[in-house]
Amino acid sequence: MEPIFALVLVVTGVAAGFASGMLGVGGGFIMVPVQIWVLTSLGVEPTMAIRISFGTALAVALPTAVNGAFGHHRRGAVVPRASLFLGVAGFAGAFFGGAVAAVAPGEVLRVAFGLVVIAAAVRMATAPDPRSGGGDEVEGGGRLDGDDVVDGADGGYGGGGGGALSRSDGVYLLLGLPIGFISGLVGIGGGLMMVPVLAMAMGFGIHRAVGTSTAAIILTSSGGVLSYVYHGLAVPGLPPFSLGYVNLLQAALLAGTSIPMAWAGVRAAHRLPADRLRGVFSLVMVYIGLEMMGAFEIFRLLIR
């Protein structure tokens, strides 16, 4: 690999790690477009490049999420039972999503990626921010005091907090399956969908949604990684250092900076006001979604 490509991946890892810690989204929406550009520039067939980018992004999201989740947990922003059930269901869904991605056309995967990113951004930007109350901001590293972190007979998830859906184990499982499927299909950790669902439908405050999503991504990403490795093992023409549809060299370059930067993102998340956090989340996602769908290329053609 040429040094310039390695440098680009290292810098991308910085941005992805910061986004993972700050937004609870795994950073895949930043890594995937850059990886596709690097791989196609190196002569990899475009559809294969997309699949490798998805699988590698999930592989990087896994240790990055572990690091970020630990930071959020120390600040009391992780709801353990919710993250566990979302993650378990997401694991199964992501494995199946990766299997579908292994046979889907490349352009379909690009459009699906863009649509998922934009839909999640619009939902987060336009929906009201229902607070679950009780110290949700976690300012200065303090712990949450709301019902989500109080252990009890029902684990503290008895449907309170003003969300549209009950906070029950069954609901978390039902939500985790489709979120995991989309995660595996488009190579993202699941936070792009999980954060809006937790914040809007479940009544979590934004910081609690980010922390819980980051923890759930650990399991969701694991299911996707296993699927991309398994379904790519017998594929000919993979670039060097590939294990199935996961490129170990790219993963190492990205993870080398994304993992430590996740800590910086966690600290930023607990210092920024919730509305500013939502704004950053939404704007970056819309831009990247449009870019992946080719919207800017169409615009450039129209103005010529």
Res 296: pLDDT: 62
Task: State the pLDDT at residue 101.
Answer: 94
Residue 120 half-sphere exposure toward CB, CA atoms < 13 A: 31
Q: What is the DSSP letter of 246?
A: E
Q: 246: which strand partners? A: 243
Do 167 and 202 touch, CB atoms closer than 8 A? yes
Give percent of the chain with pLDDT exceeding 90: 32
Low-confidence ranges of the chain (pLDDT < 50): 129-160
d(CA 118, CA 88): 26
Total-model pTM:
0.78
Q: How far is CA 182 from CA 28, 96, 148, in A?
A: 13, 9, 26
Tell me if 14 sits within 8 A of 261, measured CB to CB: yes
Tell me how crowded residue 280 is: count the other CB atoms within 10 A of its CB. Answer: 15
